[in-house]
Amino acid sequence: MRLSRYFLPVLKETPAEAQIASHRLMLRAGMIRQQAAGIYSWLPLGYKVLKKIETIVHEEQQRAGHIPLLMPTLQSADLWRESGRYDDYGEEMLRITDRHGRDMLYGPTNEEMITDIFRSYVKSYKDLPLTLYHIQWKFRDEIRPRFGVMRGREFYMKDGYNFDLTKEDALHAYNRHLVSYLRTYERMGLQAIPMRADGGPIGGDYTHEFLVLAETGESEVFYDSEITDLKFGSREIDYDSVEQCQAVLEEFTSRYARTDETHDEAVFAEVPEERRRSARGIEVGQIFYFGTKYSEAMGANVQGPDGKPVPVHMGSHGIGVSRLLGAIIEASHDDKGIIWPEGVTPFHVGIVNLKQGDEEADAACESLYKSFEALGLDPLYDDRNERAGGKFATMDLIGLPWRITVGPRGLKNGVVELTCRRTGESEELSPVDAVEKVAMIYAGLKG
C-alpha cells in the first residue's frame, strides 16, 4: 500500500479519554474510532490487524479439527428461556423487541443456539466427537465500558463448543482446546498463561483462563515463575492423541498459576519463595467443561451404543479476538508507539523515502515495493511529501516491526537502511539483501 492512497488518520494529540496505553495508541495510530460508548469502528489499520488475528484463530481451530460455522448476532429470547438464562443474565444482555413485538436479544454468547443446532441434527453417538465454533460479533451492555477494545460493548469473539459422548471424551476436547490456544497465542507473539479459574455464570467444574501479563491487566495473578519459561514452540501435536494433549495440559498447568478469584495463599506458600510472583494480567481466553448442563436443560441427547438416549457432554471455549489487539499492544509498545509482533503486523515492512521526488530514491523505493509484493509480502510505502522526522514518527507509532529507509546518500553507496522497531538497531544493506533479510524473517514464522 502506498500511504498517499491509504486512509491512516494518525492523531498528533493524545486523546484525553484514553486511560491505558493500548487505547491511547489505537486512537493515535488511526486504528479505531469510538462511535458510541464501547462501540468502535475499525479503521483500515485496525481492521487489518483484526483480520490477521482472526485468521490465526481460524487456522489453529481448524488444525485442531474444529469446524467453523456462523451463528447470527440476534437470537430469539425463547431459546434462552429454555436454559433459564433469559431471566438470569441481567442488564448486560441487550434485549430487543422487533416490529411484531417478539422478544429478541443481541447474543452475548451462544451456548443455547449451538445446543439447538446440535439437537436438531445429531441423533447418534456415531456422529461424535464434534466441535463447532464461530467468530462473530457479540454484545454485552457493560455499565461502564472502558479501556477501548479491551472492555467494549460490541466485541468480536471466537466461541467454540464441543459435543462428546462421555466426560472422558469431553475432557480430551478440553485439553485439545488448551493445546490449540497455546499455539494460537504464541503465533501472535503473546505468552498467555493458563490459570485455574472460576466457573462464573456459564458454569463449569473445569475451567482455565488464559492471561497475558501486563501492568494494566484487570486481574491480579499469582504464579510460579517457572511457568514463564515454558514455550509451546514448534512441536508437532496430533490433536487426536489423548496422551499428547494430556501431556501438554500437565506441563502447562501443573505449576501454581491462579487469578485472585481462585488464589489460595496456603497452596501458594508451597512454591519456593524465590519463585513466587504476583502481577497483573489481561484475560484473552477461557475454556470450560460444563458437562450436561445445557444438553439436559435443552434435550440435546444422542442414541448411545446401547440404543438408549444420553445427554451429550459439552464445553465452551472462547478467545477474545477484538480484545487481543489491546492485549498485544499492552504487552508490546514503548513511548514512541506500538511494536507489532511479526505474526500480526498490519504491514510486513515500512518503506520510508527520505527524499520524495528524487529520481533515484523514488525508483529504489518502487523497486523495493514491487520486490516485496512479488514475494507475497505486504509493504507500506510512505510516499508522501513529508519530512523524514514525520515519516519516522508515523512508522514508529503504527509499529511495523521492520523499516527500510531509502535516501540519496545511501543509494550512492548502494545501500539502504534496515531498522528493527523493537531494538531500534539499524544496518546498511544493499536493497536486494534488505529484501532477502525481511523475507527470511517472515518465512520463518510458524503458520
Which residues are at the interface with a copy of itself (CB under 8 A)?
5-7, 9, 30, 33, 35-37, 39-44, 46-48, 50, 65, 67-76, 79, 91-92, 94, 96, 98-99, 102, 104, 106, 113, 116-117, 120-122, 130, 132, 134, 137, 139, 141, 143, 153-154
- When the beta carbons of 113 and 319 are compared against a copy of itself, the nearer one is 113
- When the beta carbons of 43 and 361 are compared against a copy of itself, the nearer one is 43
How wide is the angle at C-alpha 434 spanned by C-alphas 433 and 437, nearest 5°? 85
Give the shortest CB-65-to-a copy of itself separation in angstroms.
Answer: 7
- When the beta carbons of 9 and 199 are compared against a copy of itself, the nearer one is 9
Q: What are the grid coordinates assigned to 114, written together?
A: 449451538
Contact predicate 44/32, CB 8 Å: no
DSSP 14: P
Give the shortest CB-110-to-a copy of itself separation in angstroms.
Answer: 10
Q: Which residue's entry shows cell 463447532?
A: 132
Contact predicate 276/268, CB 8 Å: yes
- When the beta carbons of 117 and 375 are compared against a copy of itself, the nearer one is 117
Give the shortest CB-76-to-a copy of itself separation in angstroms.
Answer: 4
**C-alpha distances in Å from residue 373, one per residue of 78, 224, 310, 377:** 51, 45, 55, 5
Closest to 214 in 3D by CA, of 307, 284, 120 = 284
What is the full DSSP assignment across 160-226?
EEEEESSHHHHHHHHHHHHHHHHHHHHHTT--EEEEE---GGG--SEEEEEEEE-TT-SEEEEEEGG
Give the shortest CB-113-to-a copy of itself separation in angstroms.
Answer: 6
How wide is the angle at C-alpha 331 spanned by C-alphas 327 and 333, nearest 5°? 110
- When the beta carbons of 98 and 270 are compared against a copy of itself, the nearer one is 98
Give the shortest CB-295-to-a copy of itself separation in angstroms.
Answer: 17
Rounded Cα distance between 175 and 172, Å, is 5
Rounded Cα distance between 49 and 46, Å, is 5
Give the shortest CB-39-to-a copy of itself separation in angstroms.
Answer: 5
Closest to 383 in 3D by CA, of 372, 394, 374, 373 = 394
Closest to 178 in 3D by CA, of 59, 317, 1 = 317
DSSP 440: H
- When the beta carbons of 96 and 230 are compared against a copy of itself, the nearer one is 96
Give the shortest CB-440-to-a copy of itself separation in angstroms.
Answer: 23
- When the beta carbons of 47 and 268 are compared against a copy of itself, the nearer one is 47
- When the beta carbons of 79 and 406 are compared against a copy of itself, the nearer one is 79
Rounded Cα distance between 392 and 356, Å, is 14
Rounded Cα distance between 255 and 194, Å, is 10
Give the shortest CB-92-to-a copy of itself separation in angstroms.
Answer: 8
Rounded Cα distance between 418 and 404, Å, is 5
- When the beta carbons of 322 and 332 are compared against a copy of itself, the nearer one is 322
Give the shortest CB-179-to-a copy of itself separation in angstroms.
Answer: 18
- When the beta carbons of 102 and 235 are compared against a copy of itself, the nearer one is 102
Give the shortest CB-95-to-a copy of itself separation in angstroms.
Answer: 9
DSSP 129: S
* AA identity, residue 68: P
